[in-house]
Amino acid sequence: MAHPPPVVGFAIWHPTFSTWTGQSGMHLIDLFVRPEHRRGGHGRALLAALATVCVKRGYRRLEWAVLDWNTPAQAFYRSLAARPLTGWSTWRVDGDALTDLAALGRPRPGAGTADPA
């Protein structure tokens, strides 16, 4: 019995919707290729597969985030004609600030609930 080929990488993504453009897209959460398999075309193949999903589903864009210091990844993405966006920055709330923000949504006595979920 033949063994399946080894898993050398993966891509995790989810669909998005832009309220600015009224169009659907894809957000790539994580692209990973095992170090010993890098530079073998696997990352390019994974991104090409995601692009195929986008085209088939009518998604207008494929987006992801890259750490500022990860220049090898940036060079790879540029080789595929991807470009960094200007005018946008990633924002985060976590730790105590997240807990404090959640507390703002707790109902006050006599008020309705604030649970949007």
Contact in structure between 83 and 61 (CB atoms under 8 Å): no
Alpha helices in the chain (DSSP H): 42-57, 71-79, 95-104
Amino acid at 32: F
Compute the distance between CA of residue 109 and CA of residue 82 in angstroms, rounded to an integer: 51
Of the candidates 13, 59, 76, 77, the residue annotated as catalytic is: 77
Question: What backbone torsions phi and psi does residue 71 show, to the nearest 5 degrees?
Answer: -65, -30
Helix (H, G, I), strand (E, B) or coil at 59: coil
Is 77 one of the annotated active-site residues of the chain?
Answer: yes
| Amino acid found at 23 | Q
Residues with active-site annotation: 77
